[in-house]
A = this chain, B = another copy of it.
Amino acid sequence: MTVPQPLTADFFDPACPSRALPIRGGEKWSWKIMRCLEAGPRRFSELKVPLRGITPKVLAESLRALERDGVLTRTAYDENPPRVEYELTPLGRSLFGPMDAACAWAREHLDHLLAAREAYEQSSERSDG
C-alpha cells in the first residue's frame, strides 16, 4: 500500500488528463464565468456585472479560451445594438462535477487550511525576526 512506486508519472504525457482541464486554477476567472453561466445564457455585459472588476479585454479573452475548448458557445445576433450571448455546452456543464468536488473539499477543510497557514506564519516569524 505504502510501498514505493516506480514513480512512473504519466503527467509528462502530452495527453495527460491533468493537462487537458479547460479550467486551470491559474486562470483567475474561468470558474467564476462558468458559475455565472450556470443558470442560463448571458450577454457580455451581463457577465461583467457579477464579475466585479473584470476588464472587457480579460473577459473577452477568457470567453474565447472557453469557447475554444468547447465549454461554451458564442452566439452573435445581427441586431442593433449588437447582442451576443454565451451559453454553456453539455461538455461545459459536465465540468461542474469536478468543480463541485473541489469546492466541497475546500469547504470541508478550509478551517484546517487556514489554521495551518497561520501556524506556519507564526513559526517562521521567530526565525525571520
A residues near B (Cβ < 8 Å) are 2-5, 7-9, 11-12, 15, 17-27, 31-32, 35-36, 38-40, 46, 49-52, 67-70, 91, 94-95, 97-98, 101-107, 109-110, 112-117, 119-120
Contact = CB atoms under 8 A, between A and B. Distances in A.
B27 A9 contact: no
Nearest to A19: B106
Q: How many copies does the complex hold?
A: 2
Nearest to A23: B25
A102 B11 CA distance: 13
13 contacts: A3-B40, A7-B36, A11-B32, A15-B110, A17-B103, A17-B106, A23-B25, A24-B26, A25-B25, A69-B116, A94-B109, A97-B105, A98-B104
Contact of A20 (B15, B22, B68, B113): B113
Contact of A50 (B7, B36, B69): B7
Contact of A117 (B4, B50, B69): B69
The CB with the most chain B CB atoms within 10 A, among A11, A27, A49, A105, is that of A105
Contact of A68 (B26, B103, B116): B116
The majority secondary structure among interface residues of chain A is: helix
A102 B102 contact: yes
